[in-house]
Structure 1
Amino acid sequence: MDKKIIVITGASGTGKTTISKYLKDTYHIPSVITHTTRLPREGEKNGVDYYFETKNSFLKNHYLEKVEYSGNWYGSSEESLKKTWEKFDAASIVVDTAGAISYKKKYGKNAVVIFLEVDFETVTDRLKQRGDETKRLLSRINSDEFKRDLQIPRELVGKCYKISNKNLENTKENVNKVLKLEKIK
């Protein structure tokens, strides 16, 4: 069987991490641990939620994609994906749309891209609820990256699954359909 990477993308607050957790809890599909220079949020652990890096240590990895977002670096390394594939046939990863394009280009049919979308009002409510401070929230929703990630990039049109995540139960059903279509689990 081919190894698969389920690439979950969309703007901040669309539920990417929630869906990644659903895949892990329901199908035992682990998420590839990504790297960041941002500080951990309450309850996050190094090597579990992210590899929390300094700016110097961040630059020492081999990245499939990396991006600076709201003053912090984020990236996914080839080493982390290969380590996950040694133990599992499928893994998930949460990335922005630029990262999703990189994965699709590199892995083709083995990269199953799920684009999550939610209306702007719901996204801003979710970001407030998760504790982002107002200044950071405004900076984030006004960033070019956030605006870019609100829609499917042309490079992924016809090459990804678009799921509206207004209702979590419906979203889970749609994710189940994608896994069945892609013969994952």
Structure 2
Amino acid sequence: MDKKIIVITGASGTGKTTISKYLQDTYHIPSVITHTTRLPRDGEKNGVDYYFETKDSFLKNHYLEKVEYSGNWYGSSEESLNKTWAKYDAASIVVDTKGAVSYKEKYGDQAVVIFLEVDLDTVTKRLADRGDDKKRLQARITSDEFLRDLQIPTELAGKCYKIINNSIKATQESVNNILKIEKIK
């Protein structure tokens, strides 16, 4: 079987991490651990939620994609993906739309891209509910990256699955169907 990477993308607060966790809990599809220079939120653990890096250590990895977002670096390394593929046939990763384009270009049919979309009011409420402070929240939802991630990039048009995530049950059902179509699990 070909190795698959399920690339989950969309703007902040659209449910990307929730879907990644659903894949892990329901199908035992692990998430590729990504790297960041931001500080951990309460309850986050190094090597589980992210590899929390300094700016110097961050630059030592080989990235498929990396982005600076709200003053912090985020990226996914080839090392982390290969480590996951050594143990599993499928893995998931949460990235922004620019990262999703990179994965699709590099891995072609091995990259199954799921684009999550939610209306702006719902996203704003979700981000506030998870504890992002008001000033940072405002900066985030007006940033070029956030606005870019609200829509499917032209490079992915017709090459990804789009799910409007207003209901977690309906979204999970859509994900189940995608896995059947792609013959994953």
Structure 2 length as normaliser, TM-score? 1.00
2:184 is equivalent to residue 184 of structure 1: yes
Determine the C-alpha separation between the residues in 2 that align with 1:69 and 1:175.
27
* Residue matched to 2:22: 22
Query: Shift of residue 109 of structure 1?
Result: 0.2
Structure 1 length as normaliser, TM-score? 1.00
Query: Shift of residue 180 of structure 1?
Result: 0.3
| Count of aligned positions | 185
* Residue matched to 2:147: 147
- State the secondary structure of the residue aligned to 1:43: coil
What's the C-alpha RMSD, in Å, of the aligned pairs? Answer: 0.2
Q: Percent identity?
A: 81
* Residue matched to 1:76: 76
Q: Structure 2 unaligned runs (5+)?
A: none
- State the secondary structure of the residue aligned to 1:26: helix
Show CA shifts across 1:21-44 (max 9, x none).
000000000000000000000000
2:48 is equivalent to residue 48 of structure 1: yes
- State the secondary structure of the residue aligned to 1:140: helix
* Large movers: runs of 4+ above 2 Å: none
Q: Structure 1 unaligned runs (5+)?
A: none
Determine the C-alpha separation between the residues in 1 that align with 2:170 and 2:96.
22
The AA in structure 1 aligned to 2:12 is: S
Determine the C-alpha separation between the residues in 1 that align with 2:41 and 2:139.
18
Query: Shift of residue 56 of structure 1?
Result: 0.4
Instruction: Write the mapping of 1:104-183 to structure 2, written as runs, cut at 5 A.
Output: 104-183=104-183
The AA in structure 1 aligned to 2:62 is: H
